[in-house]
Each structure stands twice: as structure tokens, then as C-alpha cells.
Structure 1
Amino acid sequence: MTIYLGILLALICAFTTNLAFLYKHRGACAAPAVHVSHPLRSAAGLFRSRWFAIGMGVALLAWILHVAALAVAPMSVVQTVLAGGVVMLAVMAERIFGFSVGPRQWIGLGCTALGLVLLGLTLPAVHDAQSQFSLPGMIAFEAGLVAVGGLLVMGKRIGAPDHHHGVMLAAAAGLLFGVSDVALKALTGIAADDGLLALLATPWTAVAVAASIAAFYASAKALQEGEAVPVIAFTGTAANIAGISGGIIVFGDPLPGDALGIAAQALAFVLVVVAAALTPAPVRAARPGAAVA
């Protein structure tokens, strides 16, 4: 039963996360440019933008829901449900923020719906949140994500085209959010076993905080340099792929025991990832001055 609670929390989290990103995009575009060399000044400029501040408030609610979902359900399940949020992004962008969403995005909606149904039908019979992990595996996985994220941040300096910099920063931000999410999942297990005070003694608290701060700046810069829907979709997709992989590789989230169940659950993961790939591609930017409902 707790797994289904985790899925419900993840669905609400997906909605609030994408709403927060759309508000933050509106605010980031009106704020001064983000400069890594002036982090405090950049952060102050962002928070002086009313829409960005509202977006961060909504994002805080989404973070609380995410932590709650991770505490009661396996990470791969939570992140797969969150991956379906990219379809919510398409609907919200069209209905509320004035973007145009094409047929490919609605195909993505169908893929996500089918994937979530398959996921619900093939959930393994686990009775805990799967928070135990191997320390060497955790270190290797987190270090790998940080390395790839760093390369994406440096993409412009190592020869990547300028017009790809926004989505590269978005992917880097997503991977860094993934680093934080994996660390948070570990922290939920540590807190459950040893109490909240144990969080002060573990290095994974520092990892979660540092990765979140780095992701904050990378995401804000990406929102300023790229179009809203592709940037948000790349951020969410990268974070969710990192989370799904982390759940299986680091925390040993189980798969069904029979061949049919394994095939159906694998198809569920593939359908959600395909939906994420389909949804953002041809979305066009909203007209300047489009009103928010």
C-alpha cells in the first residue's frame, strides 16, 4: 500500500515541479543574467523577480512531496512516475502559458498513460522503501553523474555549438538534481534507521546540498538561454533517467520474478522515456507578452 502512496505523491510532485519550472522560466527571463563568478549577486537578482520567487516557493512544495515519495516507495518507481510529468508540462504549457503543442506531444501523453498502467500492474511485492545501498556503488554512481554534468556545463568551452548551450545546461542541471535525489534517497534510509540527528554526521547530506545548489545555478542559466519547454523537459528527463538508474543500480530496486512481468515493466520504463523524448521536440515559444492564466 505504501508504494501506491508513493506513486500518488510522485504524481502530485510531477505537476508542482513543472508548474514551478514554468514560473521560474518567466522570472529568470526578466532577471539579470546569471554569472557563476557572482553567485550571491545572481541569486539575489533571480529572487527579486516576483515570478521566479513564486516558482521557488512552488518548487519547495514539490521537493517536500518528492522526499515523502522517496521515503515510502522504491526510487526507480518514483522517478518513472515523475518522468511522466513531461506530458503534464506540455499540457500546462499550452493551456496556461500559451505554448503550442503538436501531435507528437499528444502521442507522448498516450505512451505515458500506457506506461504508468503497465507499471502499476507489474509492481514487485516489496514491503519497504529500498533505501539500503552499497557505499562503493553509491560513490561510483554519484561521481559518474557529476563528471558527465561537468562536461555538459563546459560544453560551450570545449567546442559545442552556442545554440545548444541552453539544453546542455538543462541536462547538466538534471543530472545534478539526480545526484541530489540519489543522496536524498540514502538519507531517508539513514534517518529511518538511526534518527534525524544521524543526518548531521553523514557526508550524503553535504552531497545533496552541494548538488542542489549547483543544479539551481545551472538550471537558472539554462532557463535564461533556452526556450522554456525544451529546457524544462531536458532537465526533468535527465534527472529522472539518473533517478531510475540509481534506484536499480545503487539501491537494488527489484524487477518482477517472471519473464512476462519483466518484459511488461521494461516496456513501461521505455514508454515513459519515449514519451519524454517525443514531448518537447517541436514545441514553439509563446508569443512575447503571453499572459499567464
Structure 2
Amino acid sequence: MTIQLGILLALLCALAANLGFFYKHRGCNEVPTVDVRHPLRTAANLWRSKWFALGMLLGLVGWVLHVGAIALAPLSTVQVVLSGGVVLIAVMADRIFGFAVERRQWWGLGLTGVGLAALAFTMPGGHGADGFSLQAMVAFQGGLIGLGALLLLGPRAGAKREHHGIMLAAATGILFGVCNIAVKALTELVGFDGIGALLSPWLLVAVCASATAFYASARSLQDGGAVEVIAITGTAANISCIAGGIIVFGDPMPGDAVGIAVSALAFLMVIVASALTPAPIRSTAAAASGQGRAVAATA
């Protein structure tokens, strides 16, 4: 019953988080361009937007539901359930917010949903071992932070500038993964050490990753389209956490050849879907609009 409650909380989290992202997208495109060189002014501009504030409130609700879910169920199981929420993105975009969802994006989101559903069916039930491996935690989190930093550099690392929004979305998802894995570690430590576990360095890791993701997410929502940015952010976070659940917390893996093959195919489907989900490079008119926003920001 405990795991089932965790799964229910994860479903509600997916709904709140995706809805919040769409409101944040609307708010981010009403304010000057995000500039991390001026973090306080940028944060103030974002919070002055009622749509961004509403999106953040829904995101907070989703985060609380997520913490409750990972405290009750294995991290990998929770993230697989959350991943199923990716199919809600196209429906919300098309039916609620009026975005034009292209056919390739429907295919991309559909493939993502099928791939992650396949992972859900092949993942054995139950928890892994109590606690977690400190060595695995440090190595895995360090790897994620390094990958996220590389994606944050974007054009400075040689990537095309028109892909910056997508790269920021992937970096945001990875940083959310870092935060969620750190929070899961804190829930494990609280079970052993009580409230004193909050003095753990993993709290600092969670806070720093979350703060960095805040700015990266806002800029990605300005530089990229809503559907692809939200989908890639969620997928990157989910894959990071599924892998973290298995590697760090010992969540069970399929034990037979068929299960392993299906899991491998499911991951491949998600990778292919990630390539399909982004829309073609923005039109000249959209690019001009983005340049106009940048000029307004410097005025």
C-alpha cells in the first residue's frame, strides 16, 4: 500500500509540474532576457510576472508531492511514473495553451511515453537495499554535475547558438536530477539519524543544484519552444533519477534476458524520441522576436 501511495503522489506531481512549466513559459516570455550576471534583478523580474509566479507555485506543489513519492517508493519507480506524464505535455500544449504541436513532436512524445512505460513494466517491484553507497553517490552526482555544466556552457563549448534553449533544457533536467537524488539521500538519512541528517552536505548540493536550475530553466523557456523544452527537461530529469535509483540506491533491475532486452530497447526509444521532440530551427520571425526581447532587456 505504501508503494501504491507513492505512485499516486508521483502521478499528481507530473500533472502539477507540467502545468506549472507551461505557466512559467508564458511568464518567462513576458520579462526581459534572463541574465545570470544580474541574478537578483533577473529573479525579481521573473517573480513580478503573475504567470511565472503561478507556475512556480504549481512547481512547488509538484516538488512536495515528489518528495512524498520518493519517501514512499523506490526512486526509479517514481521517476518512471513521472515519465509517463510526458504524454500530458502535447495534450496540454494543444488543448489548453493553444500551441501548435507538430507531427514529429507527437511522435517524439509518444515514443517517450511508450519507452518509459516499457521501463515501468520491466522494473521489478520493491525497494533496493536500505541506505546508499557514498562512493557511488559522489561519483554519480559528480558526473551529472559535470555533464550539466558542459551543457550550460552551450555556444561557448562550440555548440550552435540556435540549439542553446534545448541544451539549457537538458542541463536543467540533469540539475533537477542532482537535486532529486540528493533529496532522496536526505530522506534515507533522516530515517537513520533523524532531523540531524539535514546537516548533511547533500542538503547544500540540493539547494545549489536547484538554484542553478532555476535560472537555466527560465532562460531555456525563453530561448526554446515550450513543448520541446518542457519535454526534454522532464526526460533528462527522469532518466537521471532512474539511473541514480539503480546505481546509487540499489533499486532492482530486471533479472532475465527478456527484461534486460526490453529495458535496453526502451532506453533507445527515449533517446530517439529526444531527437524527434525538438521542432525544426525557429523561423526568422521567431528569431527576430527573440532579438527584440533582448534589445528591450538592455533598454
Which range, TM-score by smaller chain? 0.7 to 0.9
- Judge conservation of contact 2:80–2:117 (CA < 8 Å) in 1: no
- Judge conservation of contact 1:111–1:275 (CA < 8 Å) in 2: yes
Partner Cα separation in structure 2 for residue 151 and residue 243 of structure 1: 19
CA displacement at 1:279 relative to structure 2: 4.0
Q: Which residue of 1 aligns with 2:45?
A: 45
Q: Which residue of 2 aligns with 1:254?
A: 252
Other structure's SS at 1:33 match = coil
Which structure carries more helix by proportion? 2
Structure 1: segments with no counterpart, 5+ residues: 289-293
Q: Which residue of 1 aligns with 2:206?
A: 208
CA displacement at 1:24 relative to structure 2: 0.3
- Judge conservation of contact 1:83–1:276 (CA < 8 Å) in 2: no
The superposition leaves residues 212-254 of structure 1 with CA deviations (integer Å, 9 ceiling, x where unpaired) of 0000011111112222112222211211121111111111211
Other structure's SS at 1:156 match = helix
* Residue identity matched to 2:23: Y
Q: Greater shift after overlay, 210-219 or 248-257?
A: 248-257
| Distance change >3 Å, CA 166–CA 118, structure 1 → 2 | closer
The superposition leaves residues 89-136 of structure 1 with CA deviations (integer Å, 9 ceiling, x where unpaired) of 11100001111224444445654565565455444242x465621111
Q: Which residue of 2 aligns with 1:291?
A: none
Residue 137 (1) aligns with residue 131 (2): no
Other structure's SS at 1:11 match = helix
Mapping for residues 137-286 of structure 1, pairs under 5 Å: 137-199=136-198, 201-271=199-269, 274-275=272-273, 277-281=275-279
- Judge conservation of contact 2:87–2:113 (CA < 8 Å) in 1: no
Q: Which residue of 2 aligns with 1:15?
A: 15
Other structure's SS at 1:155 match = helix
Partner Cα separation in structure 2 for residue 188 and residue 182 of structure 1: 10
Partner Cα separation in structure 2 for residue 92 and residue 217 of structure 1: 24
Q: Which residue of 1 aligns with 2:292?
A: none
- Judge conservation of contact 2:23–2:55 (CA < 8 Å) in 1: yes
Partner Cα separation in structure 2 for residue 167 and residue 108 of structure 1: 15
Other structure's SS at 2:86 match = helix
- Judge conservation of contact 1:70–1:129 (CA < 8 Å) in 2: no
Mapping for residues 66-77 of structure 1, pairs under 5 Å: 66-77=66-77
| Distance change >3 Å, CA 53–CA 206, structure 1 → 2 | same
Partner Cα separation in structure 2 for residue 190 and residue 160 of structure 1: 40
Q: TM-score, structure 1 length as denominator?
A: 0.87
Q: Which residue of 2 aligns with 1:87?
A: 87
The superposition leaves residues 160-209 of structure 1 with CA deviations (integer Å, 9 ceiling, x where unpaired) of 2221111111111111111101101111111122223321x210011001
Q: Which residue of 1 aligns with 2:61?
A: 61
Partner Cα separation in structure 1 for residue 190 and residue 108 of structure 2: 37
Aligned residues: CA RMSD: 2.6
The superposition leaves residues 32-70 of structure 1 with CA deviations (integer Å, 9 ceiling, x where unpaired) of 222112111111110000000000000000001111111
Q: TM-score, structure 2 length as denominator?
A: 0.85
Partner Cα separation in structure 1 for residue 35 and residue 20 of structure 2: 22
Partner Cα separation in structure 2 for residue 123 and residue 148 of structure 1: 26
Partner Cα separation in structure 2 for residue 42 and residue 64 of structure 1: 25
* Residue identity matched to 1:224: Q
- Judge conservation of contact 1:71–1:129 (CA < 8 Å) in 2: no
| Distance change >3 Å, CA 87–CA 198, structure 1 → 2 | same
* Residue identity matched to 1:257: G
* Residue identity matched to 1:227: G
- Judge conservation of contact 2:83–2:116 (CA < 8 Å) in 1: no
- Judge conservation of contact 2:132–2:248 (CA < 8 Å) in 1: yes
- Judge conservation of contact 1:134–1:250 (CA < 8 Å) in 2: yes
